[in-house]
Amino acid sequence: MQEQVKNGDGIIELKGLTKRFGEIVVLNDISLTFEKGKTTVIIGPSGCGKTVLIKHIIVLLRPSSGEIYFHNQRIDNLDERELGKVRAQMGFLFQGGALFDSLTVYENILFPVKQHTQTKDTRKLDEIVKMKLAMVGMDGFQNYYPARLSGGQKKRVALARAVALNPEVILYDEPTTGLDPIRADIINELILKTQKELGVTSIVVTHDMNSAYKIGDRIIMLHNGKILIDGNAETFKNSTLPIVQGFIRGKVSEKDLKSLQVSFEDIKIDGIQ
Ligand SMILES: Nc1ncnc2c1ncn2[C@@H]1O[C@H](COP(=O)(O)OP(=O)(O)OP(=O)(O)O)[C@@H](O)[C@H]1O
Ligand SMILES: [Mg+2]
């Protein structure tokens, strides 16, 4: 059974969040409280609105209707200057890693620090970079450009950058996608370590059920703009909903299969073998 959120444990709250893009309703009246110090995992099929949901938490997107609160302060209506202060307390690991290719690892990590603080003390800045890189096992890579790093190394540097300002909240969008199982597990361990050592609240979007079970105190599945299930690993394993079982076993649904039933014969183009 899902534990009830006790009063005062919430750090981020979504109230009746609806997001439309034109005619399409991506998020439909979602209300959700994220608990302080816990890791909440968000899963769901591609295109169901996971990235859209977490972009609302740092107000990179604004709701069509509904409200977003951080520490009981409404944030979805703040202007960009005020949002800067809120965002300084949140680290964001974008889908795909998204390091700046023209900046070194050192400069990438200092990017948010320079945006949000006035510090010019080079020794202090060197120390921050060294500490954060050591945390993800990448000290010594300061002068590398992202092009010289593997996919897993880029994600680790991106994580070091996300924690550069000691945020209270870290949002991870598909942190293990594209990594082999061992490198994916290193990222899982780093997420757990970040939560334990820095006491952060983590919100992790993933397709990877192993990762969800390992790191999630709570797992939420989105479907058709709504929360389909909200619980823990056991809730998911025991769910009898076909859509949940299909998702966790990676089994394609009848509906999706139908959409694949165009034969390659049918799409042969004249003159092309
Ligand atoms: N800026 C935008 N303008 C218009 N439509 C958008 C925009 N951003 C997202 N969408 C649409 O919203 C829906 C949800 O997108 P989102 O990126 O949140 O999916 P997702 O669950 O993160 O998928 P994936 O697992 O593939 O990353 C999609 O239909 C997408 O096309
Ligand atoms: Mg996404």
pLDDT value at position 267?
Answer: 60
Q: Which of 182, 189, 230, 200 is nearest to 12 (CA)?
A: 200
Q: How far is the CA of 47 from the centre of ligand 1 (A)?
A: 5
Spans of the chain, pLDDT less than 50: 1-7
CA distance 163 to 91: 6
Q: How far is the CA of 123 from the centre of ligand 1 (A)?
A: 42
Residue 186, token pair as written in the block: 């290193």
Residue 149, token pair as written in the block: 């790093």
Q: How would you classify the pairing of strands 24-35 and 39-43? A: unpaired
pLDDT value at position 8?
Answer: 52
Residues with CB under 6 A from ligand 1: 21, 26, 44, 46-52, 95
Element (H, E) at 66: strand 65-70
SS3 call for 29: strand
| The CATH number of domain 9-89+168-175+194-257, selected from 3.50.50.60, 3.40.50.300, 3.10.28.10, 3.30.565.10 | 3.40.50.300
pLDDT value at position 27?
Answer: 98
Judging by beta carbons within 10 Å of its beta carbon (0-12, 13-18, 19+), is residue 191 exposed, middle or buried? buried
Judging by beta carbons within 10 Å of its beta carbon (0-12, 13-18, 19+), is residue 201 exposed, middle or buried? buried
Question: Counting atoms of ligand 1 from 1, which one is nearest the CA of 61?
Answer: 1
Q: For residue 69, list its beta bridge partners.
A: 13, 74
Ordered by start, the domain boundaries in the chain are: 9-89+168-175+194-257, 98-166
pLDDT value at position 268?
Answer: 63
pLDDT value at position 179?
Answer: 78
pLDDT value at position 198?
Answer: 83
By most ligand atoms within 8 Å of CB, the mutation choice from 50, 61, 171 for ligand 1 is 50
Other residues' Cβ atoms within 10 Å of the Cβ of residue 155: 28
